Amino acid sequence: MKKAGGEDALLERIERAFPGAGGPLLLGPGDDAAVLKVRPGYRLVATVDEMCEGAHFLDSFSKPELIAGKLLRINLSDLAAMGDVRPLALLTAAGLPRAASGSWARRFITALRAEARRWRVAVAGGNIARSDKKHFSMTVLGECRGFVTRYGARPGDLVYSLGPLGLARAGLELLMSGSARRGRAALIDAFWRPRPMLAEGALIGRRGLASAMLDNSDGLYRSLGIIARLSGCRVKARLPEAVCSPELRRWAALRKKDWRMYALAGGEDYGLVFTCRPSKEALVRRLLPGALRVGEAVKGRGVGVEDYGGEIPVFEHF
Amino acid sequence: MKKAGGEDALLERIERAFPGAGGPLLLGPGDDAAVLKVRPGYRLVATVDEMCEGAHFLDSFSKPELIAGKLLRINLSDLAAMGDVRPLALLTAAGLPRAASGSWARRFITALRAEARRWRVAVAGGNIARSDKKHFSMTVLGECRGFVTRYGARPGDLVYSLGPLGLARAGLELLMSGSARRGRAALIDAFWRPRPMLAEGALIGRRGLASAMLDNSDGLYRSLGIIARLSGCRVKARLPEAVCSPELRRWAALRKKDWRMYALAGGEDYGLVFTCRPSKEALVRRLLPGALRVGEAVKGRGVGVEDYGGEIPVFEHF
């Protein structure tokens, strides 16, 4: 299970309450997605994610098309983090205020159909309920051969980040501030249209590159903490300048903040964070030139960040 | 897709927007559950349902244990309506106010684990988000051999109802009214603890008894209307006294209402409504003695109710 908002105690309670495997489950709550063995040689992957007004977006800066797109993409990102996965089908549940039951709902449906087609996912079912505020949940099913867990790292492994860092948080701040958006489309897009790294995840899975992997949904610091906790090691992090995009650099300077704060504590980036054995380093560099090394696993517990003396706030959805 | 609250125009729009089959889908939105062909000879069934504070329950009369139980049961009821289905696993998404993140959440998790064990469903995953009001959605996966759709009825078929009618609505009124609950446990239970008719659905599926079937979630009148519309026929309904339980009779008398109104328009009963060919009548009576004949399919459109002159309000969740 995944818990938004940093309440790690509840998350850990949930992990203890539900066993990780058993019955049809090869992998249960606590990873990006569950893996079910439904037939010999056939593995079904299933994940669920949620977007709630007031927690993940405000009505003032959202549109049905943006929500439909992001809802599917963040679920696909969970599948990508499992490795060699082919998405199959989605089911979605929407809570809508009465005022949104007309054209808003129609636009949402039209957009969901288009996004599902784009990512080749069949719309299998859904439910609409009445609700004061908008909320949406989605389950996406896929099939996989192998899968990569969050708990396979060991001391000596190298830690990589693939995809944007901190941009979505900057985009959210921009949307919340009401500042001019011109010239800042990259930030808005990072927030609303994260790209699920299905191809990269599949490559990592097929080639056996990663010892542990997850999608980066609550900031790099928290992602590294999850790998460290579940793998029973410590992660020493070090952020090279290369992980900071020009757009983030400009935004951080404007806000008079260290860009590393965004990279470490900004949420909803939805790139991939993975560890690999040193023997795979050359292969990772060659096959995934966009992957940047951001640390290494060592003996111990927790996460340490070099070259950063600032505070690392826990990412909270508002 | 299923739509609570009688907004049939939106429901029909959704059905048109998403094709019923194609790709991995053997049956898509518009039925109780979707059916996916993931391997030759292997069919996966998937359904989603939702419970929202203010629409499906009020905080004043709910408990985490009751919500966890009902959430799973109403999804299992959807699977039962597909016929010979074996439930496999669930994924759930919860929106919780900050005040519910402690002991309320822990009780919900404990209860969900117990309910999942009771119904032999593996908890595969979940998500918790921050929300002003409580809301819960759940997807349940199962495997099936054959499946029964909502659209297979034809003129001449007999219509049966299996399970309670009107009791859950009476239970909801009781809970809303704050009246004394003593001696009325059956009404409360009908609302909070519907029994998914998995065994009956499986029997109907295995023996090929039904030409169309669905679970009765928005009142019998609406269920019959769905069969009529999707099957392209008319349903002539006739409610025998036997469908009225003593508890419902007492409650209706107290409220000075016709018990038929509850049976026809009360929602959330979650029994099974099905049609069968006349040649199966004797078998249905023998194998399912609790099934009561409530009408027949004829040529035409819509639903007509004999022996009832009252209004049939559309069931709205509050």
Residue B133 maps to which CATH number? 3.30.1330.10
Q: Is there a single domain that holds both residue A133 and residue A249?
A: no
H-only helix segments in chain A: 8-17, 64-80, 103-118, 167-177, 185-192, 198-207, 220-231, 246-254, 259-265, 281-287
Residue B132 has pLDDT above 60, yes or no: yes
Residue A65 is assigned to a structural domain of this protein: yes
Q: Is there a single domain that holds both residue B18 and residue B129?
A: yes
Range of the domain at A220: 158-305
Residue A318 is assigned to a structural domain of this protein: no
Banded model confidence at residue B10, pLDDT cuts 50, 70, 90:
confident
Q: Could you read off the pLDDT of B252-271 as tens digits, one per residue?
A: 999 999 999 999 999 999 99
Structure-token match 């019955």, residue found: A23
- Alpha-carbon distance A70 to A119, whole Å? 12
Domain end (from B117, B144, B171): B144
Whether chain A has a CB inside 8 Å of the CB on B206: the answer is no
For residue B125, give the nearest of A34, A113, A127 by CB distance.
A34
Q: Is there a single domain that holds both residue B77 and residue B190?
A: no
Residue B228 is assigned to a structural domain of this protein: yes
Q: Could you read off the pLDDT of A184-203 as tens digits, one per residue?
A: 999 999 999 999 999 999 99
In chain B, positions 51-70, which contact chain A (CB-CB < 8 Å)? Answer: 51-52, 54-56
User: What is the nearest CA distance from B114 to chain A, expressed in angstroms?
Assistant: 10
Residue A262 is assigned to a structural domain of this protein: yes
Residue B149 has pLDDT above 50, yes or no: yes
Average pLDDT of the segment spanning B81-104 = 94
Residue A204 is assigned to a structural domain of this protein: yes
Q: Is there a single domain that holds both residue B79 and residue B164?
A: no
Q: How far is Cα of residue B32 from the mean position of the Cα atoms in its chain?
A: 8
HSE, CB side, 13 Å, CA atoms: give it for residue A288: 27
Whether chain B has a CB inside 8 Å of the CB on A139: the answer is yes
B19 or A61, greater pLDDT:
A61
Q: Is there a single domain that holds both residue A134 and residue A163?
A: no
Quote the mean pLDDT of chain A. Answer: 92
Q: Is there a single domain that holds both residue A135 and residue A18?
A: yes
Q: Is there a single domain that holds both residue B62 and residue B114?
A: yes
Q: Is there a single domain that holds both residue A162 and residue A133?
A: no
Q: Is there a single domain that holds both residue B272 and residue B185?
A: yes
Residue A152 is assigned to a structural domain of this protein: no
Domain end (from A144, A178, A213): A144
* Domain count across chain B: 2
Residue B30 is assigned to a structural domain of this protein: yes
Residue A150 is assigned to a structural domain of this protein: no
Q: Specify the CATH number for the domain of residue B255.
A: 3.90.650.10
Q: Is there a single domain that holds both residue A285 and residue A165?
A: yes
Q: Is there a single domain that holds both residue A114 and residue A174?
A: no
* Cβ-defined contact of B50 to A95 (cutoff 8 Å): yes
Q: Is A290 helix (H, G, I), strand (E, B) or coil?
A: coil
- Alpha-carbon distance A91 to A140, whole Å? 7
Q: Which value does ipTM take for this structure?
A: 0.92
Residue B35: name the closest of B142, B151, B153 by CA. B142
Q: Could you read off the pLDDT of B99-130 as tens digits, one per residue?
A: 988 899 999 999 999 999 999 999 999 999 99
Q: Is there a single domain that holds both residue A162 and residue A296?
A: yes
Residues in chain A within 8 Å Cβ distance of B92 = 48
* Cβ-defined contact of B93 to A49 (cutoff 8 Å): yes
Contact B48, B135 (CB under 8 A): no
Q: E strands of B189-291, at which residues? A: 212-215, 234-237, 272-276
Q: Could you read off the pLDDT of A200-255 as tens digits, one per residue?
A: 999 999 999 999 999 999 999 999 999 999 999 999 999 999 999 999 999 999 99
> What is residue B6's predicted lDDT score, i.e. its pLDDT?
43
Residues in chain A within 8 Å Cβ distance of B95 = 50, 52, 55, 135
Domain end (from A77, A110, A144): A144
Average pLDDT of the segment spanning B280-285 = 98
